[in-house]
Each structure stands twice: as structure tokens, then as C-alpha cells.
Amino acid sequence: MQYFLAIIGGGPAGYTAAELASKAGKDVILFEQNALGGTCLNVGCIPTKSLLYGAKQYYNATHAQRYGVTAENVNFDFAAMQKRKTIVVRKLVAGIRQRLNNEHCTVINGAANVLSRTDELVTITCNGETYQAQNLLICTGSSNFVPPIPGIQDNPFIWDSTAALAATELPQSVIIVGGGVIGMEFATLYNELGITVTIIEAMSRILATLDESISAYLTTVYSKRGVNILTSSKVTAINGNTVQLLTSDSEAIQQLSADKILVCVGRRANIQGLEALNDLEYIRGAIVVDDFMRTNLPNVYAAGDVTGKIMLAHVASRQAEVAVGRMLKQIPVQRIAYNAIPSVVYTNPEVASVGITENDLEGCEEHTLPMTFSGRFMAENEGETGLCKLVVNTKSQAIMGVHVVGNPASEFIAAASFAVRMGYTLPEFRQVVFPHPTVSEILREAVNDK
Ligand code: NAD
């Protein structure tokens, strides 16, 4: 049988594309070597959020005096948290399988390799069988990057995020190498569960790609909670459970030890199995795609982390929609609004942002309000001030970026994304009515205050 579309990888990009193309009546085959759902569902977003939610319950229970509540003998059971995480993941994976079954999409469990390609046909092998399709969509995702630090390989004290998520027991202390998104989410988990945490970050601030005032706010909050944050610090070697590091303000090498060393210094595109596509174009190890997710080979598309654009599950799904739309020659032709992609970091408090930051301020002005301008925020976030920053084009008054730190920022950043995506100006956004009392009203307050 010849398929219309072969998809390698069953993460958010792969399963979204499979469902869409199948729904459109096309024959689709999807190859996945592990579980459906990819990194996000199995070893990323969902398991992390399940564990973080448990940790937050424990933290809130032990810090409830702020709200006039005392609880004694509060404990947590890490094995029970892990068990719940596994059940959540299993149910969601089963849901994806069901949805693909409903659309009669063929799913093959195994590692696929491209065997050959012409402009008309792509041939793939998997588990000793060969399959042919008119189009190929590569959604092979990314893996944890292992930096070339001496002593990191085959070291039982080293964890990557996958190993940390699978751990059955908690360490008493952990060093986190990399104060990016993954590093800060694990710092939150461990700190809330009472584990001693040190973060080592090479840049001059944690979450260096985010707005500077947000990094500064979280640095203050986490330092007060006892997290040791070492910025402008490079790990030069690891020896067993001891890390050697060099800070930019000192020539002396420091040594730090912990029960575990969690290394999270970025991810790299998975490109194994694609060797037969020898003309496929790459940039910095990721597949080059145009606005419609087309590679330089006519019937080969790519979506998700493997394109190295923005490594987020919701970007992957949207890229998959655009790729399939293009294959099906749907009108109007879709593009991705990369300027309006929301992102969330699940620290406590949460960070959520969309659009440009103060680093790209040319022609724009920024305006910041504390989250305490929201009555609901005041009622529910004792001791927190948070902040909401608006970036506006000075001339057109269009909203270009919104950056929030404060709970529950993740739940209302979509409203800001909508404004950025649609190019709303301040006068237009002022006409939007927000429900009262909600923390989302901070967006309206920030716009009114401008
Ligand atoms: P990252 O790029 O966010 O952060 C890695 C950090 O490690 C950087 O700040 C970098 O300066 C630092 N670093 C690099 N080498 C170092 C060294 N030798 N010593 C000290 N620090 C060093 O990468 P990540 O945190 O690994 O996340 C990977 C990807 O997964 C990102 O694209 C991220 O957006 C995505 N992700 C998203 C979410 C979410 O949306 N909530 C959650 C987890 C991961």
C-alpha cells in the first residue's frame, strides 16, 4: 500500500499531523519508537507538571500560616507522587492512541529509517518491513544535550531531566547545571520538597532569554527560599559527585558536591535515521524549514523540535497544522505567527510571556505594574508582588509583548497572545471586558495605566 503521508515521530507534531491528515481522508502511517506523546507527554511537560503540582500542595500546606491556616505533621510520599504522575501520563498516551485509531491512522511501534527518496515517493524501513509514501513529515524531536565536560560520561551521580523524572527516591541535595527553563522547573520541585538546591548558570542571569526584570524577581524569590544561585559560572569538570566551577569574577576554581548533579543545558535535534536524505539541509544540527514547514526536498516536511526553531510542544502542534495544510493545499495558506508564541516557565510563581522583550525595544516603550494592582492577586498571593510588563510600539500603540511573573500567569497569557497576534492597539485592547475579580485583570490595568 502507498500512503499519502508517512510521519516519523509521534510527539505533539507527529500525532497532530497524523490526526489532521487522516481526518481529511488521507492514508497516513506514523512511526514511533517509544510511547506516543513524545518528550512532552512522557518525559517532559506533563510528568514535570504532575510532580510540580504535588510539590506545590506540600509547599502550600507547610506555608499556609500566611493565610491563617496551620497544619501539623504535613508529609509527602514521593513514591505516591510518582505513581500518580505515571497514571496521568498513561491515560493521556492512551487518549492519543484512541484518537489515531478513531481516524484509522496506521501506527507502527519501532525505529524508522529512511531508505530512499524520489520527488514522488519516500521509502522507509521499520522492524524489517518497508513502507512507501508520497510525503514525509519528520517529527523526530530532540534529546538532552550532553556537554563535553570532563567526567560527565558514565557518571552515576549525573542525571539528565529524563533520569530525574524517573527517580524513585529523592536526593537530599542537588546541583543543577543550567539555570534555563528545565533547570528552574526542577529547582522549584526540589526546593518545595525541602531539598538543598544549587543552580550553576553560565550566563549572567537565570532564564537569560526572558525579560531581565523577571529573572531578577525570581532570583530574589528563590534566593530568599534558600536556593543557591551561582551565575556567570562555568562548570569545568565533574569528578564523581563534585563539580568544579569557575566564576567570571574569580580565577580560583571552586568545588561543590551534592547527592545528584542534574545537567540541563539545552536540547539537540534528533536526526538519526535520516542519513539517506543526503541532500537535506541543516543549520546548527537542525532541519531547515520555510514558513510552511517545507524542507529543501520537495516532498519532505519537518515540524517540532527537530527544526530547532522554538522547542515548545504548542509550537510543534502548530507547525504540524501548517505542514499538513500545505500538503493538502488548503486555502488560505497558513503561516506561523512566531512573534506571538506564548511561553510559560512553571516556577512558583509562574512566568508567562509573549512577544518581544526589552532586548528588542527599538521603536517601543515598556511599562511595568506590580501584580498587586489586581485584587484577586492580592487576595491569593500573600507576600508576593509579581510584575506585569507591557511592551508597546510607541508610534502605532500596538501591543508587542507582555511578560508576567505571578500566579497563575500561565492561565491568562493566552489573552495577551491574542492581542499580540491580532496586532491590537492600546485603545482596542481597552474595549475588552475582563471578568472581576480575576488575576487576568492585570492586563487591563497595565493597558489602562499606559
Ligand atoms: P535552556 O536553553 O532553556 O537553558 C539551558 C541553560 O544552560 C542556559 O541558560 C545556558 O546558559 C546554560 N548553560 C549551558 N551550558 C552551561 C554550562 N556548561 N554550565 C552552566 N550553565 C550552562 O535549555 P533547557 O532548560 O535544557 O530546556 C531545553 C528546551 O526545552 C528549551 O527550548 C525549553 O524551552 C524547553 N522546555 C520548555 C518548557 C516549558 O515550556 N515550560 C519546560 C521544559 C523545557
Q: Indicate the residue type of 168.
A: T
Q: How far apart are CA 400 and CA 354, in angstroms?
A: 8
- Whether this prediction's pTM lies above 0.95 is answered by yes
Least reliable range by pLDDT among 255-264, 333-342, 408-417: 333-342
pLDDT of residue 112: 98
Give the domain 158-265 fold: FAD/NAD(P)-binding domain (3.50.50)
β-pairing, 122-126 vs 343-345, is unpaired
Residue closest via CA to ligand 1's atom 41 equals: 345
Q: Amino acid identity of 115?
A: L
Work out the pLDDT band at 390, boundaries 50, 70, 90: very high
Amino acid, res. 307: T
Cα 144 to averaged position of ligand 1 atoms, centre (Å): 10
Sign of dihedral through CA atoms 11, 54, 200, 152? negative
pLDDT digits (tens, 9 = 90+) for 84-114: 999 999 999 999 999 999 999 999 999 999 9
- Radius of gyration of the chain measured on its C-alpha atoms: 23
Distance CA 208, CA 249 (A): 19
Is the bond preceding 156 in cis, omega lying within 30 degrees of 0?
no
- Confidence band (pLDDT; 50, 70, 90) for 334? confident
DSSP-derived letter for residue 200 is E
What is the b/e burial string over 282-303, where b = at least 16 CB atoms within 10 angstroms of the residue's CB?
eeeebbebeebbbbebebbbbb
Q: What is the pLDDT of residue 362?
A: 84
Residue 340 sits at the vertex; the CA angle it makes with 412 and 388, to the nearest 5 degrees, is 45
Answer for the pair 118, 300: CB distance below 8 angstroms, yes or no.
no
Residues belonging to the active site: 436
Q: How far is CA 186 from CA 151, 177, 192, 236, 360, in A?
A: 22, 11, 10, 22, 29
Cell representation of residue 279: 541532500
The single-letter DSSP state of residue 344 is E
Helices (H) and strands (E) in the chain, counts: 12, 24
Q: What is the pLDDT of residues 157-166, one digit of tens each?
A: 999 999 999 9
Domain residue extents for the chain? 2-144+268-327, 158-265, 339-447
Give the list of residues 6+ apart from residue 360 with CB closer than 8 angstroms, or none: none
- Across 383-411, average pLDDT: 97
In 3D, which of 122, 108, 34, 140 has the Cα closest to residue 327?
122
Best residue among 49, 181, 245 to mutate for probing ligand 1's pocket (most ligand atoms within 8 Å of CB) is 181
CATH class of 2-144+268-327: alpha beta
Using a 6 Å CB cutoff, which residues line ligand 1?
A: 147, 177-183, 185, 200-203, 208, 234-235, 264-267, 311-312, 343-346
Q: Give the pLDDT band of residue 248 (cuts 50, 70, 90).
A: confident
From 39, 142, 144, 265, the mutation candidate for ligand 1 (largest count of ligand atoms within 8 A of CB) is 265
Hey, which of 50, 161, 182, 214 would you mutate to test ligand 1's pocket, going by the most ligand atoms within 8 Å of its Cβ?
182
Q: What is the mean pLDDT of the chain?
A: 96
CATH dotted code for 339-447: 3.30.390.30
pLDDT at 6: 98
In CATH terms, are 2-144+268-327 and 158-265 the same topology? yes
Q: What is the pLDDT of residue 332?
A: 77
Dihedral, CA atoms, 384, 385, 391, 397, nearest 10 degrees?
Answer: 130
Q: What integer is the mean pLDDT of 411-439?
A: 97
Decide: 327 and 20 in contact? Cβ < 8 Å: no
Tell me how crowded residue 255 is: count the other CB atoms within 10 A of its CB.
10
Span 25-42, pLDDT tens digits: 999 999 999 999 999 999
d(CA 11, CA 17): 10
Distance 422 CA to ligand 1 centre (A): 30
Atom of ligand 1 nearest to the CA of 233: 20
Q: What are the angstrom distances between the C-alpha of 53 and each of 188, 193, 347?
A: 11, 11, 11
pLDDT at 65 over 90: yes
Q: What's the pLDDT at 92?
A: 98
Cell numbers describing residue 108? 507502527
The candidate with the shortest Cα–Cα distance to 163, out of 304, 264, 35, 244, is: 264
